Structure 1
Amino acid sequence: MLRISQYLREVAEAERTGAWPVPPPARGAGRPTRPVVIWNLTRRCNLTCKHCYALSADHHYPGELDEAQMLAVLADLKAYGVPALILSGGEPLLSPHLWPLAARARELGFHLGLSTNGTLIDAAMADRIAAHGFDYVGISLDGMRAAHDRFRRLEGAFDRSLAALRLLRERGVHIGMRYTMTAMNGEELPALLALMREEQVPKFYFSHLNYAGRGNIHRGRDARFEATRAAMDLLFETAWQAARGGEPHEFVSGNNDADGVYLHQWVRARFPRWAAPLRERLVAWGGNASGVGVANIDNLGHVHPDTMWWHHDLGSVRDRPFSAIWEDRSDPLMDGLQRKPRPLEGRCGACPQADICGGNTRVRAQQLTGNAWAEDPGCYLDDAELGLATETAGGPDALA
């Protein structure tokens, strides 16, 4: 995840003071970094969204972890030093184990997030969420009313999700809007950014379409590169205006770590004297975190490098603790993800910006070519921008 606002606030402070600010200390400095764990408590969902990586539907899925198993996993995660949990689904509010797990996670001191479609949140549910002390609740809005309802395949979904944001905001819960851009809803971004301001939502998460689950089925509708660049330009400009004005709004992006390279170019074109220190910060960030800074446990207890890798099983928490699975580098994919630099091939292997993006999203390469180390087909920068000597056959123009 690229914390756009964080970096642009540093640029804004540098512009104001004439010196690049001292960056905050890195999380986990001086000790091994443990991943943030995204935990799909259930696969069941009341929606069947067009881009769902879990291929969820509204029925029971047999074999899911029971409450005792979940609490045992939670204890292992705490002992291992995992700092944060994001409880997801399916729709996590449909899991009978959400509340005892969340309560215990708070007792153990985890930073605790909840990822929900919001359609099941009424006043009573909002009270319950607030009482459990979630540090963050993200609710997906993939367009204004017509577009969102079409994307989510439920008439009235937009109104219910927007009402949920309002109910949680009124109760002091830290909330955010989540938006996944595809060719089906790319024109919705300006209106959603305006809605964020109108509704006083403090955080906006922009997700690129990734090739997993229904997102893989619909990848032919992925927004093409010019649309992606236009969207990022708008997001960067919106985040810059907020940073320059001292506003607290947060803008982040995910599932395409080329955004870090593009942000560096965006800043270099406008504030060239801060390009070098910003690049240092982006290299320290390191781009794609799959298998390193982020992990996934699915509803059946299988561990994956992240949520987009459900087709690649690292092992089950029924058989081995999460900590043992995560430390095991005998799996070739995990070994490659945890190498620095990664064993990238093709255009990504030759790219001088790979130290920023970390090779971008490996699952897109794997889904398209069968090779997790091939060049990422989602990179929207051309060879000249990346500093490659010549256009390669696999460059963006060839994939557009």
Structure 2
Amino acid sequence: MFRISQYMRELAHAEQTGHYPEVRERKARGPVVIWNLIRRCNLTCKHCYALSADHDYVGELTLPEVFTVMDDLKGFGVPALILSGGEPLLRPDIFEISAQARKLGFYTGLSTNGTLIDRPLAQRIAQEGFDYVGISLDGLKPTHDKFRRLDGAFDRSLAAVRFLAEFGVKVGLRFTMTAMNAHDLPNLLQLMKDEGANKFYFSHLNYAGRGNIHRDKDAHHLATRDAMNLLFDRAWADAQAGCMDDYVSGNNDADGPFLLHWVRQHLPQWESALTERLTRWGGNASGQMVANIDNLGHVHPDTMWWHHDLGCVRDRPFSAIWNDTSDPLMAGLKQHPRPVQGRCAGCKYLAICNGNTRVRAQQLTGNPWFEDPGCYLTDDEVGAASTPLEVPAKTKAFNSIRRSKEAENA
């Protein structure tokens, strides 16, 4: 996750005081865990990385198993759990799980499509004390309903935002941009303000799940640059006004170097200080400080790596799986610098973006260390030339036997 507003507030402080603030971040021992507790969902969204459907899936972790895993995560130093799905609110014991998470001291977030949240459920969510609830919106009503394949989905999700705000829950909007919905971004940012949402999460489309199937409809690089410039401008205006709303982005760590280009144009006196700050941030954290556990208990480097299985928490504790570098992918993800190739290897921003999102290269070429095809900076901007893209004929997006069998049973 790239915390746009955090850096903009630091820049605003620098402008006001004449010096860039000293920021000391507490480093957690363990990663943030995004936990897909259930695969069932009442929607079948076009860009779903879990390929969810509205039926039960056999073999999902039981409540006692979930609690056992949570104890291990706590001992391992995991600071935060993001409870996701599918649709996590379809899991009957979701509030027992969230209560245990809060009892153990985890920062606890809920990632939901919002369509199931009426006023009583919003009140229950507020009582449970979630630190944050993220609701996905893919655009305004016509766009969102088309993406979600359900007429009325937008109205129900927007009602959920309002119900949660009514009960004082910190709520944010989550938006995955493609060429089919990029036009709605300005209106969604205005909607965020109008509805009093506290956070806007902008996700670049990653090549996984249905996002991989529809990658030919991913937003072009110029549209991505326009979107990021819009987010930077909005976050900078808020920072200058003292507004504490948050704009964050994910799934494309080129956002860090691109912010440097924005600063070079608008606040050149702080480019050096921000470069140092972003280098400490360190870019892509897949396999390092971001982890995923799926509904069957299988561990992945992040949510976009569902086709790469590191092991199951039923067989080994998460802590043992996460520290095991016998898996070549994990060994490379934890390496500094990562063994990236092509223009990523020669990029002057490698220390900032950490090679960006490796899954895109793997999905398109079969080689996880090839240059990231989703990087939207030009060769001149990164100081390295692109390598011709050669896609092996037998490359498949989903080559896991277990995942193939799940797809057949879906």
Q: CA deviation at 1:392?
A: 4.8
Mapping for residues 152-167 of structure 1, pairs under 5 Å: 152-167=148-163
The separation in 1 between residues aligned to 2:100 and 2:84, in whole angstroms, is: 16
CA RMSD in angstroms, aligned pairs only:
1.1
Q: Which runs of 4+ in 1 moved over 3 A?
A: 390-394
The separation in 2 between residues aligned to 1:393 and 1:77, in whole angstroms, is: 42
Residue identity opposite 1:276 in structure 2: S
Residue identity opposite 1:19 in structure 2: H
Please tell me whether residue 195 in structure 1 is matched to residue 191 in structure 2: yes
Note if contact 1:384-1:391 (Cα within 8 Å) is conserved in structure 2. Answer: no
Note if contact 2:61-2:295 (Cα within 8 Å) is conserved in structure 1. Answer: yes
Match of 2:396 in 1: none
Match of 2:378 in 1: 382
Please tell me whether residue 258 in structure 1 is matched to residue 257 in structure 2: no
User: Please, which of 163, 168, 171 is the counterpart of residue 167 of structure 2?
Assistant: 171
Question: In the TM superposition, what whole-angstrom CA distance separates every residue of 1:170-192 from its partner, at most 9, and x where no partner exists?
Answer: 11111100000001101010000
Mapping for residues 99-248 of structure 1, pairs under 5 Å: 99-248=95-244
Q: CA deviation at 1:350?
A: 1.1
Pair 1:345–1:391, CA change in 2 (3 A): closer
Q: CA deviation at 1:98?
A: 1.0
Residue identity opposite 1:244 in structure 2: Q
Please tell me whether residue 21 in structure 1 is matched to residue 17 in structure 2: no
Q: CA deviation at 1:138?
A: 0.2
Residue identity opposite 2:50 in structure 1: A
Q: CA deviation at 1:391?
A: 5.8
Give the gaps of 5 or more residues in structure 2.
390-410
**SS where residue 87 of structure 1 aligns?**
strand
**SS where residue 304 of structure 2 aligns?**
helix
Q: CA deviation at 1:307?
A: 0.4
Please tell me whether residue 277 in structure 1 is matched to residue 273 in structure 2: yes
Pair 1:137–1:180, CA change in 2 (3 A): same
Percent identity over paired residues: 67
The separation in 1 between residues aligned to 2:219 and 2:257, in whole angstroms, is: 19
Match of 1:370 in 2: 366
**SS where residue 316 of structure 1 aligns?**
coil
The separation in 1 between residues aligned to 2:245 and 2:104, in whole angstroms, is: 29
Q: CA deviation at 1:387?
A: 2.2
Please tell me whether residue 318 in structure 1 is matched to residue 314 in structure 2: yes
Residue identity opposite 2:222 in structure 1: E
Please tell me whether residue 64 in structure 1 is matched to residue 60 in structure 2: yes
Note if contact 2:29-2:76 (Cα within 8 Å) is conserved in structure 1. Answer: no
The separation in 1 between residues aligned to 2:370 and 2:40, in whole angstroms, is: 33
Note if contact 2:34-2:292 (Cα within 8 Å) is conserved in structure 1. Answer: yes
Match of 1:40 in 2: 36
The separation in 2 between residues aligned to 1:72 and 1:348, in whole angstroms, is: 40
Question: In the TM superposition, what whole-angstrom CA distance separates every residue of 1:27-74 from its partner, at most 9, and x where no partner exists?
Answer: 22xxx6310000000000000000000000000100101111111111
The separation in 1 between residues aligned to 2:196 and 2:296, in whole angstroms, is: 37
The separation in 2 between residues aligned to 1:154 and 1:226, in whole angstroms, is: 30
Q: CA deviation at 1:372?
A: 0.4
The separation in 2 between residues aligned to 1:79 and 1:9, in whole angstroms, is: 34
**SS where residue 101 of structure 1 aligns?**
helix
The separation in 2 between residues aligned to 1:66 and 1:13, in whole angstroms, is: 48
Please tell me whether residue 339 in structure 1 is matched to residue 338 in structure 2: no
Q: CA deviation at 1:131?
A: 1.0
The separation in 2 between residues aligned to 1:203 and 1:256, in whole angstroms, is: 18
Residue identity opposite 1:159 in structure 2: D
TM-score normalised over the length of structure 1: 0.96
Question: In the TM superposition, what whole-angstrom CA distance separates every residue of 1:223-249 from its partner, at most 9, and x where no partner exists?
Answer: 001100011111100111001111111
Q: CA deviation at 1:393?
A: 3.9
Mapping for residues 388-399 of structure 1, pairs under 5 Å: 388=384, 390=385, 392-393=387-388
Pair 1:391–1:343, CA change in 2 (3 A): closer
TM-score normalised over the length of structure 2: 0.94
The separation in 2 between residues aligned to 1:162 and 1:80, in whole angstroms, is: 37
Match of 2:3 in 1: 3
**SS where residue 307 of structure 1 aligns?**
coil
Residue identity opposite 1:8 in structure 2: M
Please tell me whether residue 51 in structure 1 is matched to residue 50 in structure 2: no
**SS where residue 292 of structure 2 aligns?**
strand
Note if contact 1:302-1:314 (Cα within 8 Å) is conserved in structure 2. Answer: yes
Give the gaps of 5 or more residues in structure 1.
395-400
The separation in 2 between residues aligned to 1:53 and 1:255, in whole angstroms, is: 13
Note if contact 1:139-1:178 (Cα within 8 Å) is conserved in structure 2. Answer: yes
Match of 2:408 in 1: none
Question: In the TM superposition, what whole-angstrom CA distance separates every residue of 1:234-288 from its partner, at most 9, and x where no partner exists?
Answer: 1100111001111111000000000101001101111111000001111111111
The separation in 2 between residues aligned to 1:381 and 1:365, in whole angstroms, is: 16
User: Please, which of 315, 322, 327 is the counterpart of residue 323 of structure 2?
Assistant: 327
